[in-house]
Homo-oligomer: A and B are copies of this chain.
Amino acid sequence: MFGNHTRRPGSLPSADAKHKTQLGPEDWIAAATELLVDKSVDAVRVEALSKKLSITRGSFYHHFESRDDLLGRLLTCWRTKATEQIIERFEKRNMKPRDLLRELLMLPAHGGSAKAAAAIELAIRTWARHDKMARQFVDEVDNKRLAYIAQCFSALGFDIGEARMRAFLLYSYQSSESLLFNLDDERRKEERRQFVERLLLRSGQ
């Protein structure tokens, strides 16, 4: 989907590479994200994290009040990353809406980093099936992304309702390209992207 920016699983600094006393909350969050992706939210435990980072449990409580605090900050971190890219593109760069939409259509094709971000997102969505806090974050991120895409379609001249529906289809396309990553070769994926671009971006019905 949007995020090809999230720190990749496996990029966690090892206890050797980074002095233990220098481990910050972001390291705990990265380790927690890895456990979430590789196992499930149930596996994200202070004990398991301390072991993974080769550090005492006590260090955890320097940075977090509780496991729930960690989980909340993991989600906050994900939400920020999953939407900061939106803001950056839309406000700081001076791209035309049509080019922005084209770029959004290309996001799922961004290789390994897109795949890693999609794995994180899938793990969070699964968690959100039975957790209110996670659900709230997921719904918020979906709404922000859709509002952004809809804004681009509005800028192309579609009315608000139509812009929202086109945004939903574009977002669905992005999501499915991530979910069905084994489907078809690069050539077919590219043909599909061009088809979606033609179908959704052309104005006037």
Q: Can you name the residue of chain B whose Cβ is closest to the Cβ of A165?
A: B195
Main secondary structure of the interface of A (DSSP, over half): helix
Do the beta carbons of B38 and A39 come within 8 Å of each other? no
Do the beta carbons of A129 and B37 come within 8 Å of each other? yes
Do the beta carbons of A122 and B125 come within 8 Å of each other? yes
Please state the number of chain copies in the assembly: 2
Q: Can you name the residue of chain B whose Cβ is closest to the Cβ of A118?
A: B129
A126-B130 contact in complex given A40-B42, A176-B172, A176-B175, C-beta closer than 8 Å: no
Question: With a CB–CB cut-off of 8 A, which chain B residues contact A162?
Answer: 195
Task: List which A171-203 residues lie within 8 A (CB) of chain B.
Answer: 171-173, 175-176, 179-180, 182-183, 191-192, 195-196, 199
A182-B39 contact in complex given A123-B126, A129-B122, A175-B172, C-beta closer than 8 Å: no
A127 shortest CB reach to chain B, Å: 9
Question: With a CB–CB cut-off of 8 A, which chain B residues contact A165?
Answer: 191-192, 195-196
Do the beta carbons of B183 and A139 come within 8 Å of each other? yes
A80 at the interface (CB under 8 A from B): no
A126-B135 contact in complex given A175-B176, A176-B172, A176-B175, C-beta closer than 8 Å: no
Q: How far is the CA of A4 from the CA of B183 in the complex (A)?
A: 24
A169 at the interface (CB under 8 A from B): yes
Do the beta carbons of A39 and B42 come within 8 Å of each other? yes
Q: Can you name the residue of chain B whose Cβ is closest to the Cβ of A139?
A: B182
Q: Give the interface of A toward B (CB within 8 A).
A: 37-40, 42-43, 119, 122-123, 125-126, 129-130, 135, 139, 142-143, 146, 161-162, 165, 168-169, 171-173, 175-176, 179-180, 182-183, 191-192, 195-196, 199
